[in-house]
């Protein structure tokens, strides 16, 4: 199974966490979340606009970053740190903020929840990954518009499945 991002541009591959095969990523921005201090991940403008539940009049012509810190209520913050959008101002529950909530989506495009993965067998896990990969390969995904992180969910899904299928004696 390849660990690189094979998503098309419309799936947000320019801001994907997975290493891209032939995409030259811009130098890493060291912008840190004004709330928790951790480095955020650049998101595209359309991600902010489609995910916010508040008036888009508040969105400025600047770069925005996604904060993945679970305990931090900030989801997006502006490059200058002056503006923050919190979980209450986002239309979707954010997987990174509530990774244990059964009804939170881990794959927003094809509607797979944490609860579904938790109750799925190893065979089901393969089927879910196949379903996501097929969806991506046939251009059905819109991770930049659906997923609050603004990029494809495959890294999160694979990580969660790896954790679930780890033999118990290796567990933490």
Whether the Cβ atoms of residue 58 and residue 155 lie closer than 8 Å to each other: no
Whether the Cβ atoms of residue 132 and residue 112 lie closer than 8 Å to each other: yes
Least spacing, CB of residue 81 vs Zn ion, in Å: 11
Both tokens of residue 35?
Answer: 């709330």
Distance, in Å, from the CA atom of 2 to the CA atom of 5, rounded to the nearest integer, reads 8
Whether the Cβ atoms of residue 125 and residue 96 lie closer than 8 Å to each other: no
Q: Return the number of the residue (13 or 147) whose C-beta is nearest Zn ion.
A: 147
Least spacing, CB of residue 130 vs Zn ion, in Å: 34
Whether the Cβ atoms of residue 150 and residue 99 lie closer than 8 Å to each other: no
Least spacing, CB of residue 35 vs Zn ion, in Å: 4
Q: Return the number of the residue (35 or 98) whose C-beta is nearest Zn ion.
A: 35
| 20 phi/psi in degrees, rounded to 5 | -80, 150
Q: Return the number of the residue (4 or 69) whose C-beta is nearest Zn ion.
A: 69
Chain residues binding Zn ion by CB under 5 A are: 33, 35-36, 67, 69, 72, 74
Q: Return the number of the residue (33 or 43) whose C-beta is nearest Zn ion.
A: 33
Least spacing, CB of residue 117 vs Zn ion, in Å: 25
Compute the half-sphere exposure of residue 143: CA atoms within 13 Å on the CB side of its CA. Answer: 30
Compute the half-sphere exposure of residue 121: CA atoms within 13 Å on the CB side of its CA. Answer: 2
Q: Return the number of the residue (88 or 170) whose C-beta is nearest Zn ion.
A: 88
Least spacing, CB of residue 47 vs Zn ion, in Å: 16
């Amino acid at each position: 199974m390849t660990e690189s991002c094979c998503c098309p541009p419309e799936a947000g591959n320019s801001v994907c966490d997975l290493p891209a095969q032939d995409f030259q990523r811009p130098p890493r921005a060291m912008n840190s979340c004004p709330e928790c201090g951790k480095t955020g991940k650049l998101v595209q403008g359309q991600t902010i606009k489609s995910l916010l539940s508040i008036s888009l009049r508040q969105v400025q012509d600047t770069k925005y970053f996604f904060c993945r810190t679970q305990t931090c209520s900030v989801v997006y913050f502006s490059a200058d740190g002056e503006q923050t959008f919190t979980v209450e101002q986002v239309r979707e529950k954010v997987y990174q903020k509530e990774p244990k909530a059964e009804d939170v989506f881990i794959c927003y495009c094809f509607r797979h929840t944490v609860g579904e993965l938790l109750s799925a067998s190893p065979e089901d896990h393969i089927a879910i990954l196949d379903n996501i990969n097929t969806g991506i390969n046939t251009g059905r995904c819109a991770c930049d518009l659906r997923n609050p992180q603004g990029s494809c969910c495959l890294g999160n899904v694979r990580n969660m499945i790896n954790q679930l299928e780890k033999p118990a004696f290796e567990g933490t």
